[in-house]
């Protein structure tokens, strides 16, 4: 029987990350739930996964903390490796650029873009050695189109899409694929407080998406069936932007 693959989901405690953890656990992966600080939410995710998985909290924007946590995980799991990583952790701190505090610019880029680097780099050697790996990055329609009030977030997500394409070409020969998904408006804590009725008028599907609809695409990209897809970005936005 094939060994269960380990999948690390950053920002797995809530929202889209939680739905991805649940979906991957249902598909038989050993899921590692990363989160920043909300342990209660992370434990709830673990429960919703049927208790099959583990928690690995660290701040993805802290390169040393990420490396230490992943090194400790490896030491505790000899002979195993993380075959799938979903770089999902992200925040938004919106304001028009003229009024944006410099700290908001850096924090958003540090988590979404540098977080991808900090978490993925330590995992690459094992993926390449085993000749199988799946790296899936959570971008956004903002990274494709650019959205006003989100110069920081759009830059982070646009950078993530470009890094996805670059890394895909570096590791394709080793059986490692690197892809991104770009959701539009999805119902989570992040979109709480937005004027849903007004925004729905701009969305051809006339509704916000569900986290599970993003998780389905991520699960496909993680699967063996997606072996020949790399460097791609899949939009999941109800027709909002193509």
Q: Which residues here bind ligand NAP, judged by CB under 6 A?
A: 10-11, 13-17, 34-38, 41, 59-61, 88-91, 111-112, 138, 140, 183, 185-186, 188-191
Helix (H/G/I), strand (E/B), else coil: 238: coil
Q: Which is nearer to ligand NAP, 59 or 152 (CB)?
A: 59
Q: Cβ 34 to ligand NAP, closest distance in Å? A: 6
Which uninterrupted H or E stretch holds 137? strand 133-138
Q: Which is nearer to ligand NAP, 38 or 232 (CB)?
A: 38
DSSP result, 20-88: HHHHHHHTT-EEEE--SS-HHHHHHHHHHTTT-EEE----TT-HHHHHHHHHHHHHHSTT--EEEEEE-
Q: Cβ 185 to ligand NAP, closest distance in Å? A: 5
CA dihedral 111, 20, 36, 77 (to 10 degrees): -110
Q: Cβ 40 to ligand NAP, closest distance in Å? A: 9
Q: Cβ 186 to ligand NAP, closest distance in Å? A: 4
Q: Which is nearer to ligand NAP, 57 or 231 (CB)?
A: 57
* Active-site amino acid positions: 153
Q: Which is nearer to ligand NAP, 46 or 132 (CB)?
A: 46
Beta bridge partners of 182: 235
205/105 Cα distance (integer angstroms) = 32
Spell out a b/e string for 48-72, using b for 16 or more CB atoms within 10 Å of the CB, else e: ebeeebeebebbbbbbeebeebbee
């Amino acid at each position: 029987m094939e060994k269960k693959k380990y999948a690390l989901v950053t920002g797995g405690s809530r929202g889209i990350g939680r739905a991805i953890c649940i979906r991957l656990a249902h598909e038989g992966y050993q899921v590692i739930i990363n989160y920043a600080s909300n342990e209660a939410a992370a434990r709830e995710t673990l429960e919703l996964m049927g208790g099959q998985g583990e928690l690995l909290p660290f701040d993805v924007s802290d390169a040393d903390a990420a490396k230490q946590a992943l090194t400790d995980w490896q030491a505790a799991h000899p002979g195993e490796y993380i075959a799938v990583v979903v770089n999902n952790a992200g925040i938004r701190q919106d304001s028009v650029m003229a009024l944006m505090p410099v700290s908001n610019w850096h924090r958003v880029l540090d988590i979404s873009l540098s977080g991808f680097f900090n978490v993925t780099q330590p995992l690459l050697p094992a993926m390449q050695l085993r000749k199988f790996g799946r790296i899936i990055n959570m971008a956004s329609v903002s990274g494709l189109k650019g959205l006003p009030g989100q110069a920081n977030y759009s830059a982070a997500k646009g950078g993530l899409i470009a890094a996805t394409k670059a890394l895909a070409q570096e590791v394709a020969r080793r059986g490692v694929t690197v892809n991104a998904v770009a959701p539009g408006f999805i119902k989570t804590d992040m979109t709480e407080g937005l004027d849903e009725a007004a925004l729905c008028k701009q969305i051809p599907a006339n509704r916000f998406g569900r986290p599970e609809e993003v998780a389905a695409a991520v699960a496909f990209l993680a699967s063996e069936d997606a072996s020949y897809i790399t460097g791609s970005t899949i939009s999941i936005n109800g027709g909002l932007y193509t």
